[in-house]
Chain A
């Protein structure tokens, strides 16, 4: 090491230190406190969100027929499902009740009258979504009173929607 280098090192080591703001450590601790607080709320929010989403999902699984799980239809022949549609006549006493929908190309299918003033039909359909309506006494088209799944038919009327799950 030559003299110049020694002198340089000497100068470097004599360079003065800068002052640190007197409240520096407090500000650091404030930031740490704020960060932990944020982390606490974020953690709680995440837990709450997970619990809420789980509840919503379980509600949908147990109380609706929504196709929430992926379905694989391996055989086209074995893919039919039996679905029973029921119509209850509460206030009026219709003579005939039929059903028409996507599954019948909108041809009416007569339903069988049961003792309890209800009409029943068992359909054999593939999994999917189908629009349908009941036809009362061959004239009046009404959506299924017991189904909340409804859709406009594009002609000013309302159809019910039948969801048939696969699997």
Chain B
């Protein structure tokens, strides 16, 4: 049996087959969950917000404009869910001096390494680099964090980021440039 496309699944959901929406959830749960976790830095909150994202997507499915990819649309919902979260918490950026809490350290252990480390020194370096990089990302202002995660961690194109964030492509590029500059400043020693 050939795999159904997103549009075919959506068509079926809108025609009453609610359960098939589960395929879309399974397909996009990982990127959406990761995006949200990178944004909010709390696993329980990320889980709630990721659920909210899919529930909202389901409720708004009849308004889905299929001239956009579903993947772009669901990222846009996730981005708005995160913005609401920050608005409610009145968080506009994380303090540079804020220490990483125990919770965050333990959550970092849940990450599945994509690369393997052979030399113990490399492991130490990479863990340290990873922690510093994670912290530097979470210290970015939200608007910069959004674009850097979407571009370099989620692999979206400039056009897709523009659609998701509602920013002109030029602004996306500017934000990315400034975000990378800030990260370079933070990670100076690791980039030598």
A residues apposed to B, CB below 8 Å: 4-5, 7-9, 11-21, 24-25, 27-29, 31-33, 35-36
Interface of B is mostly: helix
Whether A18 pairs with B37 at a CB distance below 8 angstroms is: yes
Closest to A1 in B: B180
How distant is the Cα of A16 from the Cα of B51 in the complex, in angstroms? 21
Interface pairs A-B: 5 shortest CB-CB: A16-B111, A12-B152, A25-B25, A4-B191, A28-B54
How distant is the Cα of A21 from the Cα of B183 in the complex, in angstroms? 30
Q: A20-B33, A24-B50, A27-B51 are in contact. Are A7 and B191 (CB under 8 A)?
A: yes
A-B contact count (CB 8 A): 90
Whether A11 pairs with B153 at a CB distance below 8 angstroms is: no
Closest to B47 in A: A21
Within the complex, which residue of B22, B37, B112, B152 is in contact with A29, where a contact is CB–CB below 8 Å? B22
Minimum C-beta distance from A97 to chain B (A) = 69
Within the complex, which residue of A13, A14, A19 is in contact with B112, where a contact is CB–CB below 8 Å? A19
How distant is the Cα of A25 from the Cα of B43 in the complex, in angstroms? 16
Minimum C-beta distance from A4 to chain B (A) = 4
Whether A20 pairs with B112 at a CB distance below 8 angstroms is: no
